[in-house]
Amino acid sequence: MICMNKEHSIEERLWEFIDGISSAEEKTVIEKLLQTDAEWKAKYSELLQINEMLASSDLEEPSMRFTKNVMEGIAKLHIAPATKSYINKKIIWGIGIFFVTMLLAILVYGFSQMDWSTGESSSFTEKLSKFDISKFFNNTWVNAFMMVNVVLGLVLLDSYFNNKRKQFRKEA
């Protein structure tokens, strides 16, 4: 264990000496050791050979065409734009108007079903509590209308995504 630490310490000190980052005092000590100690001299020559091999070898770099190919490949990919640019505000407004219209239609239907002919003795809240929305949704025509709207909405959504897919394929 002591031998490993000693060898590791020798190697570290020699690398610092070879790289020129050791202090002036350390340089003089290492130079004396290199002249007197055979182990230091052998390790120094070994590390010098490694240093020369590293200095003489060129680092491998990819060709310029490879870099250009990679950049062209990235350019072909469609990076997702910011949310504001790909969410169509008209669709959001359309959905909102549809829901508000449906809510108003339910309210109009409900108020039209109330019995307004009774005397003034019954208050508006009593009339409103008698409002039964289940009559509205039990109607066959209303259910058919809602189903047709859902199917048409899905068809519209499908055609929208098909158009987007076709545009994406044309650009790619």
Same domain, 164 and 120: no
pLDDT, tens digit, 9 for 90 and up, residues 109-123: 877 777 666 655 556
pLDDT number for residue 109: 81
**Percent of the chain residues topping a pLDDT of 70:** 76
- What distance in Å separates the CA atoms of residue 143 and residue 136, rounded to the nearest whole number? 9
Tell whether 68 is covered by a domain. Answer: no
CA–CA separation, 19 and 22 (whole Å): 8
pLDDT at 101: 93
Contact of 135 with 113, CB cutoff 8 Å: yes
- Assigned domain for 94 exists: yes
Establish if 65 belongs to a structural domain.
no
Containing structural domain, residue 164: 139-172
Check whether residue 123 and residue 146 sit in a common domain. Answer: no
Q: What is the pLDDT of residue 54?
A: 81
Q: Judge if 126 and 158 occupy the same domain.
A: no
Both 124 and 154 in one domain: the answer is: no
Task: For the full predicted model, state whether its pTM sits above 0.75.
Answer: no
* Residue 81, pLDDT score: 61
Q: Is residue 69 part of a domain?
A: no
Does some domain include residue 166? Answer: yes
**Token pair recorded at residue 58:** 């060129």
Question: Which of these, 27, 51, 50, 30, lies nearest to 39 by C-alpha position?
Answer: 30
Structural domain count of the chain: 3
Q: What is the pLDDT of residues 122-171, one digit of tens each?
A: 566 666 666 666 766 677 877 888 888 888 888 888 888 888 888 888 87
